[in-house]
Amino acid sequence: MDVPVDILNMSDIKKDMLNFFETNQKMTLTSVNPQIILMAETNGTVKHFIEQSTHRIADGIGLVKVSKWTKGDIKERVAGIEVMEEVLLFANAHQKNVFLLGAAPEVAQKAAENIQHKYPNLNLVGWIDGYTELSDHDIVAKMNQEKADIVFVAMGSPKQEEWLERNMPKIQATIFQTVGGSLDVMSG
Ligand code: UDP
């Protein structure tokens, strides 16, 4: 359906995190599943965001099955939340600055606390919930002021893809990941 998906496993992603930091390139990790592919058919912003992303993750068994039927090369599902955990481990090992955007206020706060507790060597430099009155400009300014290296956007689709499509060029971070409802899981 003309939406690109990358053939990736976790060790490719781990290697690339280091490379992208070393070469100072932006790395965009985004989950692709059948629902998002259908959305991309009618939402050009989502489609463009996926096309421009560096790592399009086959998140969900749906794409693995389609690939099998069509004799494609996607052999395994890579769950977005597991990728997020790898990114957090990387952040912990390299003492990176992490910023969260999205989820309900109490969920975002609790997820931030839990992440900082579980990964004590990373710096959770800020969080903003996904229902904030703040403008894009103010959110971006805060991320840059806090020197975010890694930004997770958890506002569901298409909001999170549209937000990054508008704002990513202005944010001086290296890794960006759309994480859907993952903060809800991490807050529990
Ligand atoms: N959300 C948000 N702002 C909005 C709408 C949704 O921050 O305007 C959050 C919502 O609170 C939840 C996440 O986005 O934490 C969406 O999760 P959902 O399960 O819909 O996403 P999925 O994992 O299915 O992509």
The pLDDT tens digits of the residues spanning 69-120 come to 888 887 788 899 999 999 999 999 999 999 999 999 999 999 999 999 999 9
Three-class DSSP category at 46: helix
Q: Has residue 44 been placed in a domain?
A: yes
Beta-strand runs (E) in the chain? 27-32, 55-58, 97-102, 123-128, 150-154, 175-178
Q: Is 162 in the pocket of ligand 1 (CB under 6 A)?
A: no
CB burial of residue 67 (10 Å; 0-12, 13-18, 19+): middle
Residue with CA at minimum distance from ligand 1 atom 5: 155
Q: Is 154 in the pocket of ligand 1 (CB under 6 A)?
A: yes
Contact 174, 150 (CB under 8 A): yes
pLDDT of residue 151: 98
Residue with CA at minimum distance from ligand 1 atom 16: 156
pLDDT of residue 168: 98
Q: Has residue 164 been placed in a domain?
A: yes
Q: Has residue 75 been placed in a domain?
A: yes
pLDDT of residue 14: 95
pLDDT of residue 63: 82
Distance between Cα 180 and ligand 1 center (Å): 5
What CATH code is carried by the domain that includes residue 168? 3.40.50.10700
Q: Which residues of the chain have pLDDT under 50?
A: none
Q: Is 60 in the pocket of ligand 1 (CB under 6 A)?
A: no
Q: Has residue 112 been placed in a domain?
A: yes
Q: Has residue 122 been placed in a domain?
A: yes
pLDDT of residue 72: 81
Residue 177: domain span: 10-186
Two structure tokens written together for 33: 């599943």
- Domain total of the chain: 1
pLDDT of residue 71: 82
pLDDT of residue 36: 94
pLDDT of residue 77: 84
Distance between Cα 181 and ligand 1 center (Å): 5
Q: Has residue 4 been placed in a domain?
A: no
pLDDT of residue 64: 82
Ligand 1, atom nearest to 108 Cα = 15
